[in-house]
């Protein structure tokens, strides 16, 4: 637990660790501090962007979306290992996560399974978005991995933390899978960061427990939410399914909000069509109301179980 570094100290810590940094606009004062607290900080969270292209990814992470204003992180780590600073202070990157995981990060022990979304992560973590499609196939170049290692080491060194104070988005929030793909070995990332800090590598991470989605509750959300106003979240498991649809390229990341609205319904229809079903009218096979067969296929591919 610590008071956030000043922007100047944050920049210096990165440069002192050998990180190549580019400053984007007025990053030092670009934040969401008016919407909630920033700090105490407890760790460093790593994400993938689900985008390609350096400049377009930087623009998205700096500006955000109408439904999710930027900054969406503090720095964007590109494929060449350059860290582009886009904001500083509270940022829309972590969202609600598990309080048990926060306690594990504070204690610098292996994160527990993330099965709840009850704690504001935007106040507690430095966040870095890494440019990667997030489809499990887009590779992570060594230059990008080295920049991640040095970024983690820089902030852990500045705060006197161990490498176990770094975590992935998937460690924090149910349904998340980032970061993933060829070349992204999190155990190795932590070991390399620990080596830079002059400490022993952390113990191997336990296999994370699969989240479970209730088919009946998801169906109820799919029928109730589209006409509802104010994007209410009627079932938290919707976020798990939306994350999978984002990874499939069927749903824009800005709609990953837990609300099974018309956009999520359309994305589910497209997934049902990929599974060989047809007809998007009510009562037809690809109408966007989840069924056991297609939802199970989605879960098998994206790491969640389905119960009735």
CATH class of 7-197: alpha beta
At residue 184, φ and ψ (nearest 5 deg) are -100, 95
Q: How far apart are CA 134 and CA 142, in angstroms?
A: 17
Mean pLDDT lowest among 40-54, 113-127, 154-168, 233-247? 233-247
25: its two tokens: 């606009």
Q: Hey, which residues does 84 pair with through a beta bridge? A: 22, 76
Mean pLDDT lowest among 138-147, 168-177, 178-187? 168-177
Please report, for the chain, the start and end positions of each structural domain, with discontinuous segments joined by +.
7-197, 212-307
Distances (CA, A) of 136 to 9, 132, 292: 35, 9, 24
Residue 179 has pLDDT above 70, yes or no: yes
Are 246 and 252 in contact by the 8 Å Cβ rule? The answer is yes
Q: What is the mean pLDDT of residues 22-41?
A: 96
Where does residue 19 fall: left (phi above 0), alpha (psi -120 to 50 degrees), or beta otherwise? beta
Q: How far apart are CA 97 and CA 250, in angstroms?
A: 24
Question: What does the pLDDT look like over 117-149, one tens digit per residue?
Answer: 889 999 999 999 999 999 999 999 999 999 999
| pTM of structure | 0.72
Q: Which residue, among 250, 295, 263, has the nearest Cα to 277 in the 3D structure?
A: 295
Distances (CA, A) of 42 to 159, 165, 261: 9, 7, 34
Are 75 and 151 in contact by the 8 Å Cβ rule? The answer is yes
Question: What does the pLDDT look like over 256-303, one tens digit per residue?
Answer: 778 898 899 999 999 999 998 888 888 788 888 999 999 999 988 887
CA 251 to chain centre: 15
């Amino acid at each position: 637990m610590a008071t956030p570094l000043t922007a100047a100290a944050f920049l210096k810590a990165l440069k002192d660790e050998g990180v190549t940094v580019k400053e984007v606009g007025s990053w030092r004062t670009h934040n969401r501090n008016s919407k909630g607290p920033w700090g105490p900080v407890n760790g460093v969270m790593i994400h993938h962007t689900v985008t390609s292209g350096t400049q377009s990814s930087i623009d998205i992470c700096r500006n955000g979306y109408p439904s999710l204003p930027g900054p969406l992180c503090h720095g964007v780590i590109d494929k060449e290992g350059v860290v582009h600073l886009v904001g500083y202070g509270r940022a829309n990157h972590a969202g609600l996560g598990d309080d048990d995981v926060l306690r594990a990060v504070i204690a610098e022990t292996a994160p527990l399974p993330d099965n709840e979304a009850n704690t504001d992560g935007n106040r507690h973590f430095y966040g870095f978005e890494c440019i990667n499609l997030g489809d499990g196939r887009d590779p992570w170049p060594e230059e990008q991995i080295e920049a991640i290692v040095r970024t983690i080491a820089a902030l852990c060194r500045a705060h006197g933390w161990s490498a176990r104070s770094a975590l992935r988005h998937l460690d924090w929030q149910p349904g998340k899978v980032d970061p993933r793909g060829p070349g992204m070995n999190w155990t190795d990332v932590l070991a390399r960061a620990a080596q830079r800090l002059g400490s022993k590598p952390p113990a191997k991470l336990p296999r994370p427990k699969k989240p479970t989605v209730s088919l009946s509750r998801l169906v109820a959300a799919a029928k109730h939410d589209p006409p509802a106003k104010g994007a209410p979240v009627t079932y938290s498991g919707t976020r798990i399914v939306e994350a999978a649809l984002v990874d499939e390229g069927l749903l824009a990341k800005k709609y990953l909000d837990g609300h099974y609205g018309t956009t999520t319904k359309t994305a589910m229809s497209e997934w049902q069509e990929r599974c060989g079903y047809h007809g998007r009218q009510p009562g037809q096979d690809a109408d966007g109301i989840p069924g056991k067969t297609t939802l199970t296929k989605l879960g098998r591919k994206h790491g969640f179980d389905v119960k009735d």
